[in-house]
Amino acid sequence: MGSSDVSKEKARRSRDRLSNLPDPLLHQIFSCLDTKQAIQSCVLSKRWRDFWVSLPHLNFDYRSFHTKSDFQNFVCKVLYSRLDNPIFGGKFGFRCGHCWKMDETLIKKVISCVESHWFQHLHMEVNTSLPDALLNSKSIETLDLKWFKTLPQSLASFTMLNSLHLKNCCLLEFLGCNYLAFHSRVAIGVDIGAFHLGVDIGAVIAGDFWELKIEILAPNLTSFRHDWMKPMDFGEINLPSVNFVDISVDRVCYRQYEEENDNMNLINMFRGLHKAQYVKLHYHTIEVLTLVPGLLEKQPSPFTNLKSLKLYLPYNTKSSKVPSHVMRYLLGDSSGADLIIVKS
């Protein structure tokens, strides 16, 4: 047998091993591909020819297409093929970026498929308003949205929702959910029921952001993370169950009026996080606490249940030592708390 025959035989055996894998494992493998790639892969085996129709996950990605019309036509054909498909649940991904404006008819078909097939996990990147029809979905557990121009005042109709992730979205006044992570500038009142909150601010909304405040009322929230260029101005922050806190700011402003605002915003934030047991603070966060001389000494220690304080400091610089009055403020009477210094 020549070398070419040996290579062909090895390739055949490799295909046979893949073809003989159980369906659940094949579903898992194909789910790592976008839907176009999954369909193209089905030609590699006779057994797989119609396998893509039964995939529990759909993932449409505009980056796999040269034109918007090709993308839209492909999505329509796939959705039509699944009209009578008994497969329910799973993940649905729909990415068309912020440059391509999708036809409203196609968006309606996408939402109809999500609702009728009870998809549990939805990821959409669409430069449009969130369709009202999506609010009728009773199966969505995780919702990941990007580029939406407007969102409704309430998402409370998602009764199964436990994870919400928003990126570059323009938010209105109220959101109700269980897990919230912001990646846009926001001005909202949040009344949430559980678990984890991350605040990562970085995009744009209409209006003067510097005049806006955020209110967070979350009686069951256990984890809070803040990561932005400066301490946010929380009109109210009430997190009586929070245990884990991670606070980071990207820079420190040295204009006097902003120094005082930043310092007080951070102090007020800490007051709302006073139940935290495990606290992480990054270097610029600590630096903000030193901006206004004499202010910190007048404040009571914020963390009444502190068990662990982890401070991230720059390595081998003059700023790598935390001033004693800052340490007294942070630790207070928590003499038994673990103090961890991380230098990087």
Q: Look over the chain and give the mean of its residue pLDDT values, rounded to a whole number.
A: 77
Assign 198 a pLDDT band (cuts: 50, 70, 90): very low
Tokens linked to 12: 């055949």
Segment (H or E) for 282: strand 278-282
Most confidently modeled range among 185-194, 237-246, 301-310: 301-310
Tokens linked to 105: 């008819």
Give 94-123 as a DSSP string: EE-TTTS---HHHHHHHHHHHHHTT-SEEE
Strand, coil or helix: what is 311?
A: strand
Cβ atoms of 247 and 283 closer than 8 Å = no
Most confidently modeled range among 32-41, 100-109, 300-309: 300-309
Using the predicted structure, report yes or no on whether residue 204 has a pLDDT greater than 60: no
Distances (CA, A) of 201 to 204, 226, 227: 9, 9, 7
Using the predicted structure, report yes or no on whether residue 291 has a pLDDT greater than 60: yes
Place of tokens 């405040």: 213
Query: Nearest CA to 337 among 287, 289, 267, 279?
Result: 279
The residues that bridge with 237 in the sheet, in sequence order, are: 216
Lowest mean pLDDT among 13-27, 69-83, 218-232: 13-27
Give 108-171 as a DSSP string: HHHHHHHHHTT-SEEEEE-SSBPPGGGGG-S---EEEEES-SB--S--TT-TT--EEEEES---
Assign 36 a pLDDT band (cuts: 50, 70, 90): very high
| Separation between Cα atoms, residue 110 and residue 287, nearest integer Å | 48
Interval 293-311 mean pLDDT: 92
Using the predicted structure, report yes or no on whether residue 300 has a pLDDT greater than 60: yes
Lowest mean pLDDT among 163-167, 259-263, 327-331: 163-167
Lowest mean pLDDT among 166-170, 193-197, 200-204, 306-310: 200-204
pLDDT tens digits for range 43-95: 777 777 777 887 889 999 999 999 999 999 999 999 998 877 767 778 999 99
| Separation between Cα atoms, residue 250 and residue 255, nearest integer Å | 16
Q: Which residue has the higher pLDDT, 157 or 77?
A: 77
Angle between helices 68-81 and 104-116 (to 10 degrees): 30
pLDDT at 253: 58
The burial class, CB within 10 Å (0-12 / 13-18 / 19+), for 140 is: buried
Assign 301 a pLDDT band (cuts: 50, 70, 90): very high
Using the predicted structure, report yes or no on whether residue 38 has a pLDDT greater than 80: yes
The residues that bridge with 92 in the sheet, in sequence order, are: 58, 122
pTM reported for the whole predicted model? 0.55
Assign 305 a pLDDT band (cuts: 50, 70, 90): very high
| Separation between Cα atoms, residue 118 and residue 90, nearest integer Å | 8
Using the predicted structure, report yes or no on whether residue 267 has a pLDDT greater than 80: yes
Tokens linked to 249: 């700011």
Share of the chain above pLDDT 70, in %: 74
Interval 2-23 mean pLDDT: 61
| Separation between Cα atoms, residue 337 and residue 42, nearest integer Å | 58
Query: Domain coordinates of the chain in residue numbers?
Result: 186-344
